[in-house]
Amino acid sequence: MTATTNQPLYGGWRRSRSMGIWSLNTPQTVIAMGAMLTPILLLVVGGSPSTLVVTGPLALVVIVLTVVQRHGMPLMSYAVGRARWSWAHMRGETSYRSVFLPAPECLDLPGMAAPTKLVRAESPDGGRAGLVWNQRTGSMTAALLLNPAGSLLSSASTVRAHVSAYGDVLARLADEEGVQGASVTLQITPFSGAALSDHVQGRLDPGAPKLARQTITELVDRAPRASASLTAWMSLVIDPATSPQRPKGPAEAAAVTLGALDAVDLGGAGVTVLRRATDLDIKRLVRGAFVPADRDAPASQYEDLVWHEVGPVAAEDDWDSYQHDGYRSVSYVLREAPRKLVTYDVLLKLLAPGQFTRRVTLAYRVLPTEEAQSVVEREVNANEAREEYRQRTKRTSTRRERVDKDRAERTAEEEALGAGMVQWSLYVTTTVADPADLGAARREIDKAARGAGGLRLRPAFGGQAAAMVVGLPVGIHPLL
């Protein structure tokens, strides 16, 4: 992170890279070298030269699939992912119909959220919280409802203080036993200004003074015809089994989870913590994602819902979109962080209200000190190995390779001086009610991403259902 005197600037992010030749990582290097050596080995062990007619083209295809990239990933990964999704689609594994599922599967949410269960916890101070228990991994997820304060009119010193405080929050998570990951989600829901007009007109007192009625009417007429509501929350994924308390049952595990959640202090980061998310809050957030029309339903309706009922009745996980109860969602994952230094409001266009519902999630994994040290040393060693290979092959390094090397060494130096290390990613989901609007929703996300300081996203091909639930407080964390 770098900051100037007048305007704070931030950057220096880099993708983790293992050892490999050229721009390839270790698995890609092994596959490419294996493809090149296999025809030669077959020829050496007794094969006839005619075998090169078959093995040569096959090796060339494997090398091309490994080296050439599409959407920021090797064609090999793209092809394997497509094949796996097609096989799952043929077997019906991409379709979910809760009314036709046998017990106990009919009581589960679809996809990766199937092993989760909602637990209501009561704290000693009389507070109530909702915890999502992953019965497969044993982890528990709790959430804080947030009210982010605007900082566009804040001074540079205030912004710098907020960013620094937020960095301290993430760094302290590394010292919290049991905390596996964290995520912050902002959901932007557009709505028409007609709702405000209907709300006011239905409450005007006919006996009120004429001037008062004229003033209210004029204010409503001049109000923006389109607005949006912002819902924000922070989720923590906690493994109670790794905590020093060693809980012996669900009740003690819930106490450990709530203790870790209460230890998060966001006071100096420019955000207000409204409260711990209750079980009703979590039901509303999950149900509102699958069926946006039910987002503002009365609390009494959510009281009677059991966990599997907050999910969709029917869903279809397509290659590049997700259908759920008459709605369609498209999810994107981070392809590349901005290369240049950016200001604190770099994500403003991505978070600005648009025509369609949008959910933006920043997922974090704070590395413990020991793991962080080994990671940065491995990154530096990988860069040194690539530099050694370039010298032996007499190839000049590119400017991008030199910048990446400098960033890796600077990260290692900062970690050695006590800085924390965080792995992070970004996920964006947009939802439409009319399939005809899907193209416009895609263009809206693409335009917003281009205006976010060079941020590059790609669709979550073959993983739309998984990418959608990443932004919900159900404990599905992609970096764990």
* 17 vs 143, more confident: 143
As a whole number of angstroms, the distance between CA 345 and CA 114 comes to 36
Instruction: Give the separation between CA 246 and CA 253, rounded to whole angstroms.
Output: 8
Integer Cα distance of 251 and 88 in angstroms: 38
Summarize pLDDT for 204-229 with one digit per residue, the tens: 888 888 888 888 888 777 765 556 78
pLDDT at 56: 82
| pLDDT (average), residues 352-381 | 87
C-alpha 289/C-alpha 310 separation (Å) is 9
Structure confidence at residue 284 as a pLDDT band (50, 70, 90) = very high
Q: What percent of the chain has pLDDT over 70?
A: 92
Q: Do 326 and 430 belong together in one domain?
A: yes
Question: Looking at residue 6, what is its pLDDT?
Answer: 65
Give the confidence band of 435 by pLDDT, cuts at 50, 70, 90.
Answer: very high
The residue with greater pLDDT, 364 or 8, is: 364
pLDDT band, very low/low/confident/very high, at 440 (cuts 50, 70, 90): very high
- Do the domain assignments include residue 214? no
Same domain, 120 and 54: no
Q: Average model confidence (pLDDT) for the chain? A: 85
Confidence label for 4 from pLDDT (cuts 50, 70 and 90): very low
Q: Give the pLDDT band of residue 5 (cuts 50, 70, 90).
A: very low
Window from 84-88, 212-216, 304-308, 431-435 with minimum mean pLDDT: 212-216
Q: Answer yes or no: do 29 and 114 share one domain.
A: no
> Is the confidence at residue 444, as pLDDT, over 90?
yes
| CB 143, CB 325: distance < 8 Å | no
Give a yes or no: residue 210 inside a domain: no
Query: Comparing 126-135, 397-406, 421-430, which segment has the lowest mean pLDDT?
Result: 397-406
Closest CA to 120 of 108, 111, 133, 129: 129
Q: 3-state SS string over the chain?
A: CCCCCCCCCECCCCCCCCCCCCCCCHHHHHHHHHHHHHHHHHHHCCCCHHHHHHHHHHHHHHHHHHHCEECCEEHHHHHHHHHHHHHHHHCCCCEEEHHHCCCCHHHCCCHHHCCEEEEEEECCCCCEEEEEEECCCCCEEEEEEEEECCCCCCCHHHHHHHHHHHHHHHHHHCCCCCEEEEEEEEEEEEEECHHHHHHHHCCCCCCCCHHHHHHHHHHHHHCCCEEEEEEEEEEEEECHHHCCCCCCCHHHHHHHHHHHHHCCCCHHHCEEEEEECCHHHHHHHHHHHHCHHHCCCCHHHHHCCCHHHHCCCEEEECCCCEEECCEEEEEEEEEECCCCCECCCCCHHHHCCCCCEEEEEEEEEEECHHHHHHHHHHHHHHHHHHHHHHHHCCCCCCHHHHHHHHHHHHHHHHHHCCCCEEEEEEEEEEEECCHHHHHHHHHHHHHHHHCCCCCEEEECCCCHHHHHHHCCCCCCCCCC
Same domain, 458 and 333: yes
pLDDT tens-place string over residues 367-405? 887 888 888 888 888 777 777 777 777 777 778 778 888
Task: Name the domain boundary from 57, 72, 93.
Answer: 93
User: In the chain, how many domains are there?
Assistant: 2
Q: Could you tell me if 8 and 129 lie in one domain?
A: no
pLDDT at 195: 60
As a whole-number percent, the residues of the chain with pLDDT over 90 amount to 32
pLDDT given for residue 262 in this prediction: 87
221 in any annotated domain = no
277 and 383 in a single domain? The answer is yes
Residues 170 and 285 in one domain: yes
In this predicted model, what pLDDT tens digit does every residue of 9-37 receive, in sequence order?
888 888 877 776 766 777 778 888 888 88
**Residue 275 structural domain:** 95-192+228-470
Mean pLDDT on 53-69: 83
Domain shared by 378 and 465, yes or no: yes
Integer Cα distance of 284 and 289 in angstroms: 8
Phi, psi values for residue 406, rounded to 5°: -60, -40
Strand partners, 292: none
Task: Quote the pLDDT of residue 467.
Answer: 95
- Token pair of 52 as six digits: 């090169």
The mean pLDDT value for 443-471 works out to: 92
Closest CA to 220 of 194, 246, 189: 194
**Is residue 26 within 8 Å of residue 20, measured between CB atoms?**
yes
Is residue 211 domain-resident?
no
Q: What is the mean pLDDT of residues 79-87?
A: 91
Q: Is 267 part of any domain? A: yes
Question: Do 140 and 2 reside in the same domain of the chain?
Answer: no
Show which of 93, 117, 149 is a domain's final residue. Answer: 93
Cα(30)–Cα(113) distance, rounded to whole angstroms? 35
Q: Which of 34-38, 61-65, 252-256, 385-389 has the lowest mean pLDDT?
A: 385-389
| Residue 126 within a domain | yes
**Cβ contact 338:346 at 8 Å:** yes
Do 55 and 131 fall into the same domain? no
Residue 74 pairs in a beta bridge with 69
Nearest to 311 by CA among 277, 282, 332, 278: 282
User: Which residue's entry shows tokens 């416009």?
Assistant: 440
pLDDT, residue 1, reads 45
CA gap 396, 402 in Å, rounded: 10
Mean pLDDT computed over 340-366: 90
Triad 25, 29, 34: Cα angle to 5°: 155
329 in any annotated domain: yes
**Each residue of 299-310: pLDDT tens digit?**
888 888 899 899
Considering the domain architecture, whether residues 44 and 117 belong to the same structural domain is answered as no
- CA 187/CA 360 separation, integer angstroms: 6
**In whole angstroms, what separates CA 364 from the centre of its chain?**
8
Judge whether 83 lies within some domain.
yes
Residue where a domain terminates, one of 68, 93, 118: 93
Q: Are residues 387 and 333 in the same domain?
A: yes
Q: Is 74 or 237 the better-scoring residue by pLDDT?
A: 237
- pLDDT confidence of residue 187: 94
